[in-house]
Amino acid sequence: MKTKIAFLREFLRNPGTVGAVAPSSPSLAREMVRQAGVPQARTIVEFGPGTGAFTREIVEQAAPEARFLAIERNPALARILQQELPSVQVCHDSVENLGAILHREGIDQVDCILSGLPWAAFPEQLQDRLLEEACKNLAPQGFFVTFAYLQGLLLPAGRRFARKIRGRFTHVEKSPVVWRNLPPAFVYRCQR
């Protein structure tokens, strides 16, 4: 309950960076991890873990020897996540610095990136910079997975983001709708 209240508080303070009033559901977390191939990955990065809805599922499914970094820009959410999941390496930083973060950690490329970022809320130039970092640092057969709310397909920002990822990745697939999420969502699974 504490994490849900913290999430709502941060949404009210920063709706353009938090992007939702409640954390993603366990059903959406399982679908994200499944689509990303987390159990087979050696290096995993999570963009915008918030209070850890996806993080918990990643920890549960990742191989013991896998390297996992969670990059959270919001200081309050990064602090809560680190307190609740002390085994996770939480980087209080921006995804824009992914290359530098990986270099500092001795990681050349990432097998999968799971993003909980509110893409449709971001300006187009920021979307471009973040997607560029993801593409530059993703292993050749790696997966970039993110989700979108079903109603977002009707909005110009949602359609623009869908075109943007199709322009950057060779393969883009959409999962079935995860109805047990508020609001209902689906997962984009992207490969270069």
Q: What would the pLDDT profile of 88-101 be if each residue is shown by its tens digit?
A: 999 999 999 999 99
Residue 23, pLDDT score: 81
Provide the 8-state DSSP code for 107. Answer: -
pLDDT surpasses 60 at 3: no
**Lowest mean pLDDT across 16-20, 62-66, 162-166:** 16-20
H or E segment and range at residue 147: strand 138-149
Question: How does residue 14 score in pLDDT terms, banded at 50, 70 and 90?
Answer: low
Residue 33, pLDDT score: 98
Rounded Cα distance, 118 and 135, in Å: 18
Rounded Cα distance, 151 and 3, in Å: 26
The CATH classification number of 25-191 equals 3.40.50.150
Question: How does residue 16 score in pLDDT terms, banded at 50, 70 and 90?
Answer: very low
Distant-in-sequence, close-in-space partners of 186: CB < 8 Å, separation ≥ 6: 147, 148, 150, 174, 175, 176, 177, 178
Rounded Cα distance, 145 and 172, in Å: 9
| CA angle, residues 80, 84, 86, in degrees to nearest 5 | 105
Tens of pLDDT, residues 100-153: 999 999 999 999 999 999 998 899 999 999 999 999 999 999 999 999 999 988
- The mean pLDDT value for 150-167 works out to 93
Q: Which of 31, 29, 78, 82 lies closest to 57, judged by CA?
A: 29
Tokens of 92: 């209080």
H or E segment and range at residue 3: helix 2-13
Tens of pLDDT, residues 59-78: 999 999 999 999 999 999 99
Rounded Cα distance, 14 and 177, in Å: 27
Q: Are 36 and 189 in contact (CB under 8 A)?
A: yes
Reported as half-sphere exposure (CB side, CA atoms, 13 A), residue 135 has a value of 15
